[in-house]
Amino acid sequence: MLNIQDLCVNYEKNQVIKGISMEVKEGEIVTLIGANGAGKTTLLRTISGIKSSSSGSIEFMGNPIHKMPSHKIVDLGIGHIPEGRRVFPEMTVKENLEMGAYRRKDSKEMKKELDHIFELFPRLKERISQRAGTLSGGEQQMLAIGRAIMLRPKVYLFDEPSLGIAPLVIAEIAQMIKRLNEEEGATILLVEQNANLALKLSHRAYILETGKISLEGPSEELANDDRVQKIYLGYE
């Protein structure tokens, strides 16, 4: 569904992504694990068209998208939940969710989508008229995810969904990601520093180190890899 070949991305004169090749198949949860500065967020921003690549290709459902503007990529069905949530703080919860559907033309279906999101995240329904900037970090993350669901994407790009979130809320969000995949067949590319969480949620994983893929394979196998356990899972 999503195929990346020999992708290189620069920030000014520095090469941040150094010839990455990877794929995400339909119905999979694929995770990308790496330390700060490895290039994880840059990769997601490049897939979304926010950042331009210097070489290589990105194909989505057979269509080359690496030279497309971001709004066209959204229209194809790629939903990006950015690091740090990025909600509209002065807008209400409902207004933020409606912003997620601004490219959709089937406004009659929006009510059903809102009901679905409130079923996934009852707390958002309780705060429907509250300004997003007054929500807790976990509630803002729920809102950012709900905003992406309103788009009805074919692929979700999750960037550090557990960052700065209380442990109980992390578990709730993890269950929601799993539910999106298992019950709704959502395809997910998950960027996550919490390697334990990411490997438990995903089917396959890539390890990104200083802009290059150093390891890849089924998540269960990587979770048992000595190097992954020592560097990313904290085992001695």
Confidence (pLDDT) at 107:
65
Nearest to 84 by CA among 45, 111, 112: 45
Confidence (pLDDT) at 69:
93
Structural domains of the chain, ranges and CATH numbers in brackets: 2-184+205-212 (3.40.50.300)
User: Do 10 and 119 contact (CB within 8 A), yes or no?
Assistant: no
Confidence (pLDDT) at 235:
63
| pLDDT string in tens for the chain (236-residue length) | 999 999 999 988 889 999 999 999 999 999 999 888 889 999 999 999 999 999 999 999 999 999 999 999 998 999 999 887 789 899 999 999 988 887 766 666 777 888 889 988 899 999 999 999 999 888 998 999 999 998 889 999 999 888 888 888 888 889 989 999 998 899 999 998 889 999 999 999 999 999 999 999 999 999 999 888 888 876 65
Q: CA torsion sign, 132 to 137 to 143 to 149?
A: positive
Confidence (pLDDT) at 236:
52
H or E element in which residue 20 lies: strand 14-24
> Rounded to whole angstroms, what are the CA distances from 40 to 2, 32, 128, 172?
16, 7, 32, 23
For residue 184 the two structure tokens come to 């709704």
H or E element in which residue 190 lies: strand 187-191
Give the three-class secondary structure for 66.
Answer: coil
> Rounded to whole angstroms, what are the CA distances from 232 to 39, 40, 122?
16, 15, 33
